[in-house]
Structure formats: structure tokens, C-alpha cells
Amino acid sequence: MGKQDHAASEARAAGATIYSVADRAGVSIATVSRVLQGATVVSEPTRQKVLAAVEELGYVPLGAARSLAVRHHEAHGLVLPELSGPYYAELLMGFEARAAELAQSVVLVLTDSRTDLAAAVRQLATRVDAIAVFGAAPISGDVVRLLRAKKPVVVIAGEPHDGVEAVSAENLESARELAGHLLDHGRRRALFVGDPDSGPDIRNRYAGYVAAHRDRGLDAAEPVRVALREADGAAFAQRLLAGEYEADALMCANDELALSVMTTVQDAGRDVPGDVAVAGWDDVMTARYVRPGLTTVRQPVQELGALAASRLHDLVSGELPRPQPQTLPTRLVVRSSCGCPAA
């Protein structure tokens, strides 16, 4: 290991400071501060040297303290896996609308398009005062805790971490109710479509599915582990039509899967719910307008995004993290894809 690499490793181990960044870049701490605050008086070569030092040393400036010093807050960071599908778009809308009400801008990082995620998140932390991280984003608990040591952090629909605030929507009991509703229609070959390992939300939905079977003295099938995108639903439906699976009811982990499955089996001449009942999760707008209408669980996605933005603002303003996760209620929405009469 060279001298420069050794110095960087020591700085990371000790916790990089504005002084070590200045020393590494060969500039004053005032210049480092100007670069991190976005001042335009610094030359581009000097700015690049400072940013390189920040990246090499893993330095995360305490944006909250800097914001208080200048008497305003700069931005909130939001880390999401992607923006495809209605869920993430609604979450972003709620987060951004609430941030705007609080005079905050939003800096977005999409993890699915990043090859060096840790570096992208560290860079994000140099530009914002606080960060919300979606639970399904592939960020390790160690990275979340490292961020929390420097910035207020809120985890959305993810695993709780000590000292890190979490917000989510209720999943287990609503899933138990939804699965029970399907079973009470006399369905006995219900499948759960979605991967419980993809995040705590989906894991709890599968747990509710299992609990509903147990409540009725039935054995629950293993989940059909597919991703949550439209194309994955269509691919599963083709396998169902080919006879790889036997089912009279499908409880899909989100509406995107459910709508894709339902359309594919109907296009093949199968009847929903006559041949197979289909249910989803989220209650996206399309669920109301397809025929049959999609039975699903409504969760307050925009409200969840708004809550995360509000809590970031509160934490930056000096509030302590709440020790228990905040959980927003969800509710079963019965339409006719499950076998109920059309309203």
C-alpha cells in the first residue's frame, strides 16, 4: 500500500474531517467549505481536487450544522431503487411535494443504475442535509449506520436500525385479511406471487398469506419468487398457462404484477375470477378501471413519502429520532377479481 492509500485508510478509520480533506487537497479549510457549499468563486481544478479528496477519504460533512449556520436548509436526499412502475413515482411525488412545502429541494439517487453504490451515496451525503433511504435499495446496514453518524437518516419501508428512524405502511394484518378473503371464497390452491426476500414489505405480505392459511387449518404454498415488475408478471402468467403451476387464486405482491398477470391470462382466454382469482397490493389508479376491478390493498404511498420528508426536516431541526417505527394504516379494497359481485 502506498503512502497516499495508507493515509486515506487511516483517515477513514479515524473519521475524516474538513482538516484532513484540506490537507489531502492542499488547500485551506475555507476553500473546502466553499466547495461543499457550492460557491462559484473556486476554480474548477481546485474544486475537482477537493471533491477527489472528499471521495478518497470518505468525508461526509455535517450538513445540518452547516445549514443552521447559514439559517436555511439546502436539500433532502432520496435513495430509491428505480422509478419504473407506479409505486416509486407516487412515493417520489409525496416526498417532493412535502419537501417543497418545507422549502427543501430534493436530490435523487437511483441505485439500480449505479455500479459503485457506496460512492454514490457518500457523494449524495456531501450535497444534502439529510437522507431518506428506501428499504429495498441494496444499501447495507453498515452504510446506513455510517450515514446516520453524520446525517439524519430515515428508512422508508425497510429494516429498522438502532438510532435510525423508520417509516412504513402496515403489511402483515392487511395481507392476512386479503388472503383470508380469497380463501373464504372457497379457493384452496392459492399462490403468493412475489419474492419475500426482496424486502420487509413483501416478507410481511407473505407472512400474512401464511397466517391466513394457518387460521383455517390449511398449508400455505411456498412463494413464487418473481420480481415486482410488469414483465415478470407476464412471464409468470405464461408459465401458469403452460401448466407449470396449478392455482385457483393468486395473491400478487403488488398491483403491477397482478394487472400484468390478469391481462395475460385473459388474453389467453381464461376467465378472471372464474378460472383463477387475482388480487394485488397498492390500489393504483388502473385497479379501479380494469374489468374485473382488481381486489387489492390500498396503502398511502404518497403520504408515506410526505411523512419521510417531514421527519427529515424535523431531525435536521434538532428533534431526536423516534425509537419505534411509524406505521401508516392500509385497508382491503374489495372489487370483483376475487370472485365478489361487481359493485
Query: Measured between alpha carbons, how far is 104 from 154 in angstroms, rounded to an integer?
Result: 16
Same fold, 63-168+303-328 and 172-298: yes
Q: Please state the pTM of the whole predicted model.
A: 0.76
Name the residue ranges covered by the structural domains of the chain.
3-57, 63-168+303-328, 172-298
Q: What is the residue-wise DSSP string for 39-58?
A: -SSS-HHHHHHHHHHHHHHT
Say which CATH superfamily domain 172-298 falls into. Answer: Response regulator (3.40.50.2300)
Least confident of 101-105, 273-277, 339-343: 339-343
Chain centre distance of CA 279:
22
Query: What pLDDT does residue 141 have?
Result: 64
**pLDDT band with cut points at 50, 70 and 90 for residue 292:** very high
Specify the DSSP element, H or E, that contains 331.
strand 331-333
Query: Measured between alpha carbons, how far is 199 from 158 in angstroms, rounded to an integer?
Result: 7
Least confident of 12-16, 101-105, 211-215, 224-228: 12-16
Say which CATH superfamily domain 63-168+303-328 falls into. Answer: Response regulator (3.40.50.2300)
Residue predicted with more confidence, 322 or 304 = 304
Query: What pLDDT does residue 31 have?
Result: 82
Mean pLDDT of 60-68: 49
**pLDDT band with cut points at 50, 70 and 90 for residue 1:** very low
**pLDDT band with cut points at 50, 70 and 90 for residue 291:** very high
| Residue 6, pLDDT above cutoff 70 | no
**pLDDT band with cut points at 50, 70 and 90 for residue 264:** very high
Least confident of 107-111, 132-136, 244-248, 260-264: 132-136
CATH class of the domain defined by 3-57: mainly alpha
Burial of 6 (0-12, 13-18, 19+ CB in 10 A): exposed
**pLDDT band with cut points at 50, 70 and 90 for residue 10:** very low
Query: What pLDDT does residue 60 have?
Result: 67
pLDDT digits (tens, 9 = 90+) for 320-335: 888 888 999 999 999 9
Q: What is the residue-wise DSSP string for 247-283?
A: -SEEEESSHHHHHHHHHHHHHTT--TTTT-EEE-SB-
Please state, for a pLDDT cut of 70, what percent of the chain lies above it. 85
